[in-house]
Amino acid sequence: MNGKNIIILGIESSCDDTSASILINGEIKANIVAGQSVHKKFGGVVPELASRAHQQNIIPVVDAAIKEAGIDKKDINAIAFTRGPGLLGSLIVGTCFAKSFALALNIPLVEVNHMQGHILAHFIKNKENRYPNFPFICMTVSGGHTQLVVVKDYFDMEVIGETIDDAAGEAFDKAAKIMGIPYPGGPLIDKFSKTGDAKKFKFPISNLEGYNYSFSGLKTSILYFLQKEMAKNPLFIEENKVDICASYQSTIIKSLFKKLVKATRDLNIKQVAIAGGVSANSLLRSELNRIGIQENWNVFIPPFEFTTDNAGMIAIAGHYKYVKNEFVGQDVTPNARLKI
C-alpha cells in the first residue's frame, strides 16, 4: 500500500473531542470524532471528566480510523498529535498515546499547534481543488480562542488581534447557559436564530483599539437584560427565545466582522478565511459571503466536518511538517498554553 504515499495518522484530544484521522497525500480517508456527552449536565467541559473519557475513547477511535481508511497500521509514515493549546489532562492522553504508538511502530512523531491545525484545515484536499494563497487572513473563532491571524506560510503565522477575555464560542455557550439551553449552546443558538428577529433586542458591541476583541461585556449585558425582563415576566425567555438568540448572535457576528474588515483594509489582504468551531455558524458563513462580495475578497469557508475539533486538521498540519522533516523526540511534553 505505501510506496510513495505519505500516510499520516492525526490525533486530536485538546478539549472534549477524541479524534483520529488518516490522511493519504493530503486527502482525508477517515476522520473519526468521539464527542463526550458526560459534560452536558454540567453546562460546560469538566477537565477531569474529559481526560478520563479520552482515555476510554482513544484506542477505539484510532482503531476505527485505521479500519475505515482500509490501511494497515504498518503503512503509517508518521503520527501527528495536538501538543497544545488546550486542557492539560486532555492533551496528556493524546500526547502519550501518540508517543507510545510512534515508538511501537518506529515512525516519526510530529507535534501540531491546535490553532494552526484549525487554519491548515483549509489545505485538506477538496473536490474544487481550491486553497487559499499566502498571505491570507484567517479569523479563527472557537470555544477557547478568537484570533485574527495573518498566514504568511504554512507555519509562518502572525496573530494580529485576539480576544482579551471570552472567546466568541464562549459568548455563545455562556449566553445559552443563562437561557437554559444545553451545552454546547452555539449550534442551538444558531438554530433558534433562524426563525428569530435579529433587530428585536439591542446588545452592545465592544470598541477596542486595533484588532482585539472583547466579549465579556456582551455576556454581562445579556445576563442583566434577562434578569430584568424575567423579574417582570417569568416567561420572557420562553416567549422570546428565537428573537433573543437572533439578536445576540447578530451582535457577535457584527463585532467579529468589524475587526476583520478593518484588518483586511489596513493590510490590503483580499484572501480571507474562517476557521474553528464557530465557523460552523450559518450567519457567520453567509455574512462572510455577503461582505466578501462588497469588499472584493476571495473567501474560504471550511467544510462543516473540519470546523469543530477534528484530527483531520491535525493530520494535514502533520503532513506539511512531515515533508519538511520536522519531527519531535520522545521527550516532547504537552503545552496547555502553546502559542502560534
Out of 16, 173, 243, 309, point to the residue binding Zn ion (CB under 5 A): 309
Distance CA 175, CA 34 (A): 25
Q: Candidates 198, 242, 281, 313: give the one binding ligand KG4 (CB under 6 A).
A: 281
Restricted to residues 189-208, the positions that interact with ligand KG4 (CB under 6 A) are 190
Distance of CA 167 to the CA centre of its chain: 11
At residue 27, what is the residue type? E
Does residue 166 belong to the site contacting ligand KG4 (CB under 6 A)? no
With CA atoms as reference, report the closest residue to 123 among 321, 272, 309, 302. Answer: 302
Binding string, 4-43, against ligand KG4, x = CB under 6 A? -----------x----------------------------
For cell 509514515, what's the residue? Answer: 77
Residue 309 makes contact with ligand KG4 by CB under 6 A: yes
SS3 102: helix
> CB within 8 A of 266, min separation 6: which ones?
none
Torsion of CA 305, 306, 307, 311, to 10 degrees: 110
Does 111 contact Zn ion by CB under 5 A?
no
With CB under 6 A as the contact rule, which of the stretches 65-73, 136-144, 239-247, 320-328 interacts with ligand KG4? Answer: 136-144
Pick between residue 206 and residue 310 the one whose CB is nearest to ligand KG4: 310
* 280 binding ligand KG4? (CB under 6 A): yes
| Residue 75 interaction partner, one of Zn ion, ligand KG4, none, beta carbon < 5-8 Å per kind | none
Question: Sign of dihedral through CA atoms 259, 262, 266, 270?
Answer: positive
Task: Note the Cα 323 to chain centre separation in Å.
Answer: 24
277 is an interface residue for ligand KG4 by CB under 6 A = yes
> Side-chain half-sphere of 16: how many Cα atoms within 13 Å?
20
Q: Cell 455576556, residue?
A: 219
- Work out how close the CB of 77 gets to ligand KG4 at its nearest, in angstroms, rounded to a whole number: 27
Pick what 186 binds: ligand KG4, Zn ion, none; C-beta below 5 to 8 Å, kind-dependent: ligand KG4
Strand partners, 146: 141
> Which amino acid is it at 337?
R
Query: Among residues 107 and 114, whose Cβ is nearest to ligand KG4?
Result: 114
- Which residue in this structure is represented by grid cell 503545552? 335
CA–CA dist 263, 210 (Å, integer)? 9
Smaller CB distance to ligand KG4: residue 71 or 181? 181
Which listed range, 43-51, 75-83, 125-133, 308-316, lies at the site for Zn ion (CB under 5 A)?
Answer: 308-316
Contacting ligand KG4 (CB under 6 A), which of 89, 117, 143, 196?
A: 143
Burial (0-12, 13-18, 19+ Cβ within 10 Å), 224? exposed
Output 77 or 146, the one with its CB closest to ligand KG4.
146
Residue (190 or 243) nearer to Zn ion, CB = 190
Q: What would the grid cell of residue 223 be?
A: 445576563
* Nearest residue to ligand KG4, by Cβ distance, number only: 277
Answer with the entry of Zn ion, ligand KG4, none that 187 interacts with (C-beta below 5 to 8 A by kind). Answer: ligand KG4
Query: Which residue from 172, 203, 297, 306 is in contact with ligand KG4, where contact means CB under 6 A?
Result: 172
Name the binder of 311 from Zn ion, ligand KG4, none, CB < 5-8 A by kind: none
Rg (CA), the chain: 20
- List contacts with Zn ion (CB under 5 A): 142, 309
